[in-house]
Structure 1
Amino acid sequence: MKKQRFTISVYSENNVGLLNRISGIFLKRHINVESLNVSKSEIENVSKFTIVVNTTEDWTRKIVAQIEKQIEVIKAFYHTDDETIFQESALFKIASHLLFDERQIQNIIKESNSQIVTVSRDFFVLAKTGRRHEIDEMHDQLEPFGIMQFVRSGRIAVTKSEMPITTLLEDFYQDK
């Protein structure tokens, strides 16, 4: 089987230690987590983990099955990139004088559809939301000018198809 990128969505109760146990599942199988984001979900008191891995579908299926064995996990799903709509966000901190002295910086901002978040005497901060390759491209364009700080979020994603999670949760909470 060939490796490909999968987005794993895990719906869970918000309990201490779950992230550690989930990461242990990947560690035991020597599978690197490319991206991780945890946030509240569309359902009250339910967290959503969005995990990106590059592995085979067989391994992904086994990982999801192991994750679902965790007591706090309500349900886990996996999807390919074609089955999801996804984005990442990044912040770039750049020396302020470049904003005014380098015309190319202004062109990069305009062409990348990024936003200036703040400007101070010493630095300005750009925000960029998009696909990983778009953020990488902007990073490569800004790097020759000097990036003071850079940070990227994990992937956030929604599925193109309907997710049955609300129905599953109603059933889950009725059983409790």
Structure 2
Amino acid sequence: MEDQKKQFTVSVYTENNIGLLNRLSAIFQRRHINVESLNTSASEIEGVSRFTIVVKITESQMKKIIGQIEKQVEVIKAYYHTEDEIIYQESCLFKFKSDLLFDERQIQNIIKESNARIVTVNKEFFVIEKSGRKDEIDLLYRELNVFGIGQFTRSGRVAVTKDKMNISKMLEAFQN
């Protein structure tokens, strides 16, 4: 039976070097795989960066890609996780004209019901922030879109595993 496409979250621990992002994205590009989300940040280990990449592919493709990623000199270790192995969030910002906040009572109700929050208000605009799962943010976008969103941006996925990861122990061994 052939592998089914699933959503995977990839965690790549790396040294922070110029050009690595380009080489990592080329690994996916060469295989015609769309990256659905990408986030880079510091990791729990000082001096080590973490890429969090979301893709929808088969597990056999995922295993091959992990192998290619780990061949990059700066990559310390790469892992892949299924949706049920992680806890994740995304974040987004919406910008609207200020008069909507006072003229459209429904916007205030939507903000409250969705557990979003207003991060700034001035006489020209206000900004709403929402953190949550992709479907929560998509729903909020649909509800607010009727009011004329001035600007919208969303982050890539940030994720932690439910189970303990052994990357810290592995790095300690390298340092000794």
TM range (shorter): over 0.9
Moved over 6 A (4+): none
Which letter maps to 1:66?
A: Q
TM-score by length of 2: 0.98
Q: Is the 8 A contact 1:95 1:124 kept in 2?
A: yes
Looking at structure 2, the residues matched to 80 and 143 of structure 1 have their Cα atoms a distance apart, in angstroms, of 31
TM-score by length of 1: 0.98
Q: Give the aligned partner of residue 107 of structure 1.
A: 109
Q: Is the 8 A contact 1:86 1:131 kept in 2?
A: yes
Identity of aligned residues (%): 65
Post-superposition offset of 1:172 = 2.7
1:9 to 11, 14, 18: 11
Q: Give the aligned partner of residue 36 of structure 1.
A: 38
Is 1:20 paired with 2:22?
yes
Aligned length: 174
* DSSP-derived class of the 2:41 partner: strand
Once the two structures are superposed, the pairs formed by residues 23-102 of structure 1 within 5 Å of their partners are 23-102=25-104
Q: Give the aligned partner of residue 152 of structure 1.
A: 154
Looking at structure 2, the residues matched to 122 and 153 of structure 1 have their Cα atoms a distance apart, in angstroms, of 24
* DSSP-derived class of the 1:9 partner: strand
Listed as ranges, the gaps of 5+ residues in structure 2 are: none
Post-superposition offset of 1:173 = 3.0
Looking at structure 2, the residues matched to 14 and 171 of structure 1 have their Cα atoms a distance apart, in angstroms, of 20
Q: Is the 8 A contact 1:74 1:172 kept in 2?
A: no
Listed as ranges, the gaps of 5+ residues in structure 1 are: none
Once the two structures are superposed, the pairs formed by residues 132-151 of structure 1 within 5 Å of their partners are 132-151=134-153
Q: Is the 8 A contact 1:7 1:50 kept in 2?
A: yes
What are the superposed Cα offsets for residues 116-156 of structure 1, whole Å, 9 maximum, x if unpaired? Answer: 00001111000000000000000000001000000000000
Looking at structure 2, the residues matched to 19 and 171 of structure 1 have their Cα atoms a distance apart, in angstroms, of 26
Which letter maps to 1:122?
A: E
* DSSP-derived class of the 1:147 partner: coil
